[in-house]
Amino acid sequence: MTGFETKSVLCASTFGFHRMVYSDWGPRQAAETVVCVHGLTRNGRDFDFVAANLAQQGYRVICPDIVGRGRSENLAPGGVYGIPQYVADMTVLMAAEGLESVAWLGTSMGGLIGMAVAAMANSPIQSLMLNDVGPFIPKASLERIGDYVGIAWRFDSFDTALAHVKKAYEPFGLTREEDWVELAQNSLREETDPETGARSWVNNYDTRIADPFKDQEVGDIDLWLVWDTIVCPTWVIRGALSDLLLPDTAVEMQQRGPKASVIEVPNTGHAPALMDAQQAASVREWLTKTVGGPQ
């Protein structure tokens, strides 16, 4: 696997500063840069497989851990986790790296951030790839997410944690044991009790990311006005069993706004893990079609 450099950028909220950490893959002087942004409870290491694949083809790939996740710092007390903060942080990252033109691959929440950025005037996004998310998210799906996000995990063995991850992320559609192990390693953080030396595995995110689900009544999310503003080429990956990106929504996404191309991943719900060769090849083919090759 092609390696990456771990970097960080200093971002700000109303209540203080925080560092956002990201993986920087591939040649720094590549003609094309792909920004990969993860889902709500995930982190940038989810893209290791597809990023290594693209880097080997000569693309530069940047995969951030959005604030409160993975290697990044948490928001200061009083800070609000939400799309406006994430857009601001990503703007800082792109400015720090001098990125004026990017392709964007976003899974779930990462796709919502990408839609918000792509809809802005003079957006740097030249090609938008959405992994199992669209401008309409039904209330039932948000309630399902609200039922588990923010619950503190603590397991006394990695095997127990792995079993839980397999159940929690069953819709990802993984079939290989080594992929489940990698996903679990990225989903959890190991802690050691300083007094007893006992080890435990806990959430690899700040449980306060769940606060928006607690602080307001959950309803459908309707972002069709945002969608209709997007003009860049747009491609959608849909898990065939997804309850978040409904079939009717995917059809409408092909008919209005940027008139997206859509593919479906069979036997998969929310969201395809992008951890197999066929899915990585599909990403690479779309990039070649829309932004050209990396040279």
CATH number of the domain enclosing 281: 3.40.50.1820
247 contacts 134 by C-beta, under 8 angstroms: no
Number of other residues whose CB lies within 10 A of the CB of residue 204: 20
Supply the pLDDT for residue 47: 98
pTM, entire model: 0.96
Residue count (the chain): 295
The answer to whether residue 191 sits within a structural domain is: no
The answer to whether residue 264 sits within a structural domain is: yes
The answer to whether residue 215 sits within a structural domain is: no
Number of domains in the chain: 1
| Paired sense of beta strands 16-25 and 60-64, if any | antiparallel
How many helices (DSSP H) and strands (DSSP E) are in the chain? Answer: 10, 13
Single out the residue of 173, 169, 172, 162 nearest to residue 201, CA to CA.
162
Supply the pLDDT for residue 2: 55
Q: Edge-to-edge strand order for the sheet containing 60-64?
A: 4-13, 16-25, 60-64, 33-37, 102-107, 125-131, 234-239, 261-265
pLDDT tens digits, the chain, 295 residues: what are they? 459 999 999 999 999 999 999 999 999 999 999 999 999 999 999 999 999 999 999 999 999 999 999 999 999 999 999 999 999 999 999 999 999 999 999 999 999 999 999 999 999 999 999 999 999 999 999 999 988 898 999 999 999 999 999 999 999 999 999 999 999 999 999 999 888 989 999 999 999 999 988 877 889 999 999 999 999 999 999 999 999 999 999 999 999 999 999 999 999 999 999 999 999 999 999 999 999 877 6
The answer to whether residue 184 sits within a structural domain is: no
- Domain extent for 131: 4-138+222-290
Supply the pLDDT for residue 295: 63
The answer to whether residue 32 sits within a structural domain is: yes
Residue with tokens 């918000």: 116
Supply the pLDDT for residue 110: 98
The answer to whether residue 278 sits within a structural domain is: yes
The answer to whether residue 192 sits within a structural domain is: no
The answer to whether residue 231 sits within a structural domain is: yes
Question: H/E element holding 92?
Answer: helix 83-96
